[in-house]
Structure 1
């Protein structure tokens, strides 16, 4: 087939345009989300290109390290030498009523709650993307003479963007009788997953597997007494596909030398991944460790660190060279809870 000069010119222009778009896309995929959001205002073509689901999914699938910690009124970047742009300054400005509280951070999305003012009204739950500022109100949980005991967010960047909210309710006259309902962003509805089950929910350790809609016992590491009254759990969280636990028996004393456990891939048990020597913190400065905020796995093992909150500061502890670095000085009466912030362009 012989093309005319005009047809050949159009085909060449289209090829160059596709090449430029592909090259442009590869460059932008390596930039912070804040830059990408600004570039959307350059032109209609750029906005269309950067809004395509193919681009946002590729951006979210690229292995990106967490940027820092986020609280209701504070942002703490991990890289204090090259701090990223704060995703927000105050959560209240994005919600319909004040007093927003973050309950959980999951792969870039936040599960938040606002409490009723006075004796009337009910709590409202939201899913919020601090990167794009997108907000979704979760419908009230259908319930009858029941109370919400626990609310959790499950989200992972997949080929089809979706999230789920898991709610554990106490039901019936039995104080140890519970029900699990799951909300899906696909259907916009709550669905009862487990009609009723009886257990001492806050004594035993459990995990809910969304795929098979079943509740499973979460084993404790060897050597820990399986009783909530005897085990001090300082941290439980995921990083780069690894589930970590920091816990010890009360009789072992405070957090001076503690283990960071990692769960086996088949969920059958734990092994000691890191050992923290936190006695060095007394030489770093005044104050004592209040809690472990996060365990952040790096692209390379030597980049893995634990985030610790002390009485007056937030510091990072490198698990390999055991070095400390202060990333934030806290006010004396700071009462904020901190959660991991990861950029995501996912929309819902």
Structure 2
């Protein structure tokens, strides 16, 4: 291949800037393959002037712990994907303005969405969207419901636009529906508020479909639309204007009630979901991929029993685990399991489980699953109007 390029193939005439722009638009796995094309391509991708444009690998996870016997009781951490070394990101986000409290709500393609409580009034807040890699940030004004909303997500695609969107899913009770008129769907979403960084305003959309979203449900922003797993065991899809709603059915496992959607994830430009269920052969974890978003065709990509997944050493984790992320460019998932919240990776191609590190029991937040937010750095400057 390199010889062909040296002999004057058309692609060899492309300037470095144009070639770097082309490569920056492909997934991370393809970028790694591009390094093998020629020494020119390898050096181009590795050069500091171009590296910041290229897709980056998963760097690690933000997570919190709570211990009533210490001060402060709540602490925030960043764990590298290797589980070793100093955190690649300062989890305190010290470059942001000082607030009375800060919660990381979501991460999308390198940007963090934070809810920041003001010291002047503990009931008032700002949303802050920031880029830890460049330490740039922008304030998003709160709505009248922001202090009570449980599900807020971020939408951002740097290869499409430098602008982002914030989605507030406002349930019936928060919206002010009278208790006697509440639906049978616990936590049913009544209204969606969407903020556009381009327009600088919020828009509200009333909904004509009934669903609820678990607080820990991870979102995927793909092709200009947000995808979220619901408590009703389907996936809801909404565009940035809030007009185009779609519901995507998922394959029904043998025992529907025992098979919640553990999460919706993005890997290699495909949408995935995972669930676990129980049948006559025991407990299993299954991984499904959406092959065609228009025909809504799902394909079973992987299936593994809990016994094979955890083996004898970790057999007690069968009912105490949670899939938290996919590796962007590989058939690999990340799992937190056990009372001590052990972070582990599972290579689906090799069917191999690897221990990364132990996050500790303090990272368990109440009865809910441990909340870990995966982070992939973005070294470009998308927040043009930020600080």
State the TM-score, normalizing by the size of structure 2.
Answer: 0.64
Q: For residues 1-348 of structure 1, what are the structure 2 equivalents within 5 Å? A: 27=43, 29-30=45-46, 59-60=52-53, 62-71=54-63, 73-79=76-82, 86-91=88-93, 94-115=96-117, 120-141=122-143, 148-169=149-170, 170=172, 171=175, 172-173=177-178, 174-176=181-183, 178-192=190-204, 194-197=205-208, 199-202=210-213, 203-204=231-232, 205=234, 206-210=236-240, 213-223=243-253, 230-249=258-277, 252=279, 256-267=283-294, 268-280=296-308, 281-285=310-314, 288=317, 289-298=320-329, 303-311=330-338, 312=340, 313-335=342-364, 337-344=371-378, 345-348=380-383
1:201 Cα offset (Å): 3.1
The answer (yes or no) to whether the contact 1:77–1:327 under 8 Å persists in 2 is no
Distance 1:287 1:28 in 2: 48
Deviations 1:264-286 (A, max 9, x none): 32251422112234424243458
1:223 Cα offset (Å): 3.2
- The worse-fitting range, judged by mean Cα deviation, of 89-98 and 303-312 is 89-98
Distance 1:341 1:121 in 2: 29
The answer (yes or no) to whether the contact 1:243–1:262 under 8 Å persists in 2 is yes
Deviations 1:111-164 (A, max 9, x none): 2223577995234322121211222221112569x9535211111112531111
Deviations 1:229-255 (A, max 9, x none): 654222211123111111245x54999
Q: Provide the aligned length of Structure 1 versus Structure 2.
A: 296
Indicate the SS of the match to 2:155.
Answer: strand
Indicate the SS of the match to 2:351.
Answer: coil
Distance 1:245 1:256 in 2: 17
Indicate the SS of the match to 1:333.
Answer: helix
Distance 1:85 1:245 in 2: 29
| Equivalent in the alignment of 1:10 | none
Indicate the SS of the match to 1:291.
Answer: strand
Runs of 4+ in 1 over 6 A off after TM superposition: 19-26, 116-119
Identify if the C-alpha distance between structure 1 residues 347 and 200 changes in structure 2 by more than 3 Å, giving closer, same or farther.
Answer: closer
Deviations 1:305-329 (A, max 9, x none): 1111122321111111112222222
Structure 1 gap segments, 5+ residues each: 1-18, 37-49
Structure 2 gap segments, 5+ residues each: 1-14, 22-40, 65-75, 184-188, 214-230, 365-369
| Equivalent in the alignment of 1:42 | none
Identify if the C-alpha distance between structure 1 residues 187 and 23 changes in structure 2 by more than 3 Å, giving closer, same or farther.
Answer: closer
| Equivalent in the alignment of 1:7 | none
The answer (yes or no) to whether the contact 1:163–1:184 under 8 Å persists in 2 is yes
State the TM-score, normalizing by the size of structure 1.
Answer: 0.71
Distance 1:107 1:138 in 2: 18
Identify if the C-alpha distance between structure 1 residues 271 and 113 changes in structure 2 by more than 3 Å, giving closer, same or farther.
Answer: same
1:262 Cα offset (Å): 0.9
Distance 1:114 1:253 in 2: 48
